[in-house]
């Protein structure tokens, strides 16, 4: 009996999540599609029929662990691809954030997706990629690879957002450390906690 009650509760929770997600997604139709903000405080959709990539890195001093994660979403806010993996502890925080950007671009290209917007909450990493000056340091080699990959797309913008606008990617990177796992999730694979976070982003747009 207890198991039957729990199953019914899980079904009801899933139905409520789906309803919230659909309501939030419908709310996007009332938003202007070419909104450009400097360091926006909330997640914003890319232009209609375009794709956005959000990335982040996470660290723990206790275990000396570092991870990267990211999510590719369409103009309705729906996740398309989600990835997360541990990386060797880099030379600096900026290097880790740059590796998150690089990892996200590679995942998108592996799935034949052209990204219109790339968002990171690391201002220094965004500045490192968008500045025209050549950087000969270790981080500079990562920047060079990022720029080369970006050149394969017609029009891609990299911009800085606040942590509050990047919570999905941040939580994915943190999940990698806590679960000690790596993954690439596609539609149909997303866990409930991820749908919760995505739904929260969309409901904030209403």
Looking only at Cα atoms, what is the longest distance across the chain? 67
Q: Which is higher by pLDDT, 138 or 54?
A: 54
Check if the beta carbon of residue 48 is closer than 8 Å to that of residue 155: no
How many angstroms separate the CA atoms of 113 and 167, rounded?
Answer: 22
Range of the domain at 174: 2-203
Number of domains in the chain: 1
Picking from 201, 45, 37, 39, the residue whose alpha carbon sits closest to that of residue 122 is 39
Across the range 146-168, mean pLDDT stands at 93
Joined tokens for residue 39: 């360091």
Full-model pTM: 0.81
Whether the pLDDT of residue 7 is over 60: the answer is: no
Check if the beta carbon of residue 169 is closer than 8 Å to that of residue 54: yes
Q: What is the pLDDT of residues 57-103, one digit of tens each?
A: 998 877 678 999 999 999 999 999 999 999 988 888 899 999 999 99
Whether the pLDDT of residue 52 is over 90: the answer is: yes
**Residue 122: which residues within 8 A CB-CB, separation 6 or more?**
56, 57, 93, 94, 97, 160
Q: What is the pLDDT of residues 113-146, one digit of tens each?
A: 999 999 999 999 999 998 877 665 668 899 999 9
Whether the pLDDT of residue 12 is over 60: the answer is: no
Check if the beta carbon of residue 55 is closer than 8 Å to that of residue 120: yes
In this structure, the number of other CB atoms found within 10 A of the CB of residue 73 comes to 24
Sign of the C-alpha dihedral computed for residues 114, 108, 148 and 44 taken in this order: positive
8: domain CATH number is 3.30.420.10
Strands ordered across the beta sheet of 65-74: 157-160, 117-120, 51-60, 65-74, 79-87, 183-186
Picking from 189, 192, 187, the residue whose alpha carbon sits closest to that of residue 76 is 187
Joined tokens for residue 205: 């747009």
How many angstroms separate the CA atoms of 86 and 70, rounded?
Answer: 12
User: Using CA atoms in the order 103, 108, 112, 113, what is the torsion angle rounded to 10 degrees?
Assistant: -150
């Amino acid at each position: 009996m207890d198991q039957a009650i729990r199953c019914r509760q899980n079904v009801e929770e899933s139905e409520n999540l789906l309803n919230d997600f659909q309501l939030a997604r419908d709310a996007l139709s009332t938003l202007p599609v070419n909104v450009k903000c400097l360091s926006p405080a909330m997640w914003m959709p890319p232009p209609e029929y375009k794709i956005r990539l959000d990335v982040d890195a996470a660290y723990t001093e206790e275990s000396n662990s570092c991870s990267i994660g990211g999510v590719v979403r369409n103009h309705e806010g729906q996740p398309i691809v989600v990835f997360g993996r541990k990386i060797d502890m880099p030379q600096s925080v900026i290097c880790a954030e740059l590796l998150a950007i690089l990892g996200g671009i590679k995942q998108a290209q592996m799935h034949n997706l052209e990204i219109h917007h790339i968002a990171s909450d690391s201002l220094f990493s965004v500045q490192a990629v968008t500045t025209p000056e050549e950087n000969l340091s270790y981080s500079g080699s990562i920047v060079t690879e990022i720029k080369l990959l970006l050149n394969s797309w017609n029009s891609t913008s990299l911009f800085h957002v606040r942590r509050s606008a990047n919570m999905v990617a941040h939580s994915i990177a943190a999940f990698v450390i806590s679960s000690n796992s790596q993954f690439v999730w596609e539609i149909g694979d997303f866990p409930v906690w991820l749908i919760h976070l995505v739904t929260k982003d969309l409901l904030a747009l209403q």
